[in-house]
Structure 1
Amino acid sequence: MLLGIVQSLTRWAWRKLPADTDPNALTAAQAKVVAMAGKLPPLHLKPPRQVRKAYRLMEQPFNVDRQTMARICHESVTLEDGSSCSLRIYYPQSLPASGPFPAMVYFHGGGCVIGDLDSHDIFSRWVAHQAGIVLVSVDYRCAPEHPFPVPVTDSIQAWNWVVGNAESLQLDPQRLGVGGDSAGGYLATLICQQTLLPTLGVKPSQLPGYQWLIYPMMDLRGQSDSYRQANDGMLLTRQMMDYFSGHYLGSNLDMQLSAINPILVDDLADLPPTYLLSVGYDPLRDDDILYAKRLVEQGVSVEHKHYPNMMHGFISMGGVCPQALQALQQSIAFLKRNGS
Structure 2
Amino acid sequence: MPIDPQAARLLAMLGAARPTDWPGVSAAARRDGFAALMRMAGTPPAVASVSDVRIAGAAGPLPARLYAPRDGTAPGLVYFHGGGLVAGDLDTHDALCRALAAGSDCRVLSVGYRLAPEHPFPAAAEDAVAAAGDALGRAAEFGLDPARVAVGGDSAGGTLATLAAGALRTRVALQLLLCPALDAAPDTESRRLFARGHLLDAAMMARDLADCAPGALDLADPRLSPLRDPDLAGRPPALIHTAEFDPLRDEGALYAERLAAAGVPVRHRCHPGMIHHFYGLTGLVPAARAALADIAAELGARLAMG
Is TM (by shorter chain) over 0.5?
yes
Matched residue of 2:172: which SS? coil
CA positional deviation for 1:256 = 2.4
Q: How much identity, in percent, do the aligned residues show?
A: 34
Q: Which one of the candidate residues 305, 312, 334 is aligned to 2:298?
A: 334
**What is the CA–CA distance in structure 1 between the aligned matches of 2:229 and 2:42, rounded to whole Å?**
36
Within 5 Å, give how 1:1-340 maps onto structure 2.
24-42=1-19, 44=22, 45-60=24-39, 62-81=40-59, 83-92=60-69, 95=70, 97-98=71-72, 100-195=73-168, 207-340=171-304
**What is the CA–CA distance in structure 2 between the aligned matches of 1:78 and 1:104, rounded to whole Å?**
16
**What is the CA–CA distance in structure 2 between the aligned matches of 1:77 and 1:318, rounded to whole Å?**
29
CA positional deviation for 1:215 = 0.7
* Structure 2: 5+ residue stretches without partners: none
CA positional deviation for 1:338 = 2.2
CA positional deviation for 1:64 = 4.2
User: Residue 229 of structure 1 contacts residue 238 of structure 1 at CA under 8 Å; is this kept in 2?
Assistant: no
Q: Which moved more, 1:70-79 or 1:277-286?
A: 70-79
Structure 1, residues 26-68: CA drift from partner, whole Å, max 9, x if none?
A: 11111111111111141623101011111111211x3243122
Matched residue of 2:142: which SS? coil
Matched residue of 1:269: which SS? coil
Letter in 2 for 1:68: A
Letter in 1 for 2:44: R
Letter in 1 for 2:274: M
Structure 1, residues 119-166: CA drift from partner, whole Å, max 9, x if none?
A: 100111111011111000000011111111000111111112111111
CA positional deviation for 1:169 = 1.7
**What is the CA–CA distance in structure 1 between the aligned matches of 2:145 and 2:122, rounded to whole Å?**
29
Q: Which moved more, 1:209-218 or 1:263-272?
A: 263-272
Q: 1:86 to 1:225 in 2, by over 3 A?
A: same
User: Residue 268 of structure 1 contacts residue 295 of structure 1 at CA under 8 Å; is this kept in 2?
Assistant: yes
CA positional deviation for 1:195 = 3.3
**What is the CA–CA distance in structure 1 between the aligned matches of 2:108 and 2:58, rounded to whole Å?**
24
User: Residue 246 of structure 2 contacts residue 275 of structure 2 at CA under 8 Å; is this kept in 1?
Assistant: yes
Q: 1:234 to 1:80 in 2, by over 3 A?
A: closer
**What is the CA–CA distance in structure 1 between the aligned matches of 2:171 and 2:274, rounded to whole Å?**
31
User: Residue 63 of structure 1 contacts residue 320 of structure 1 at CA under 8 Å; is this kept in 2?
Assistant: yes
Report which of the two structures shows the higher radius of gyration computed on alpha carbons: 1
User: Residue 58 of structure 2 contacts residue 126 of structure 2 at CA under 8 Å; is this kept in 1?
Assistant: no
Matched residue of 1:270: which SS? coil
Q: CA RMSD in A?
A: 1.6
**What is the CA–CA distance in structure 2 between the aligned matches of 1:167 and 1:41, rounded to whole Å?**
44
Structure 1, residues 243-277: CA drift from partner, whole Å, max 9, x if none?
A: 11111111121222212210112222211111001
Letter in 2 for 1:185: G
Equivalenced residue count is 302
TM-score normalised by L of structure 2: 0.94
Letter in 1 for 2:87: I
Q: Which moved more, 1:209-218 or 1:303-312?
A: 303-312
Structure 1, residues 93-120: CA drift from partner, whole Å, max 9, x if none?
A: xx3x53x211100000011111110110
Matched residue of 2:16: which SS? coil
Q: Which moved more, 1:41-50 or 1:134-143?
A: 41-50
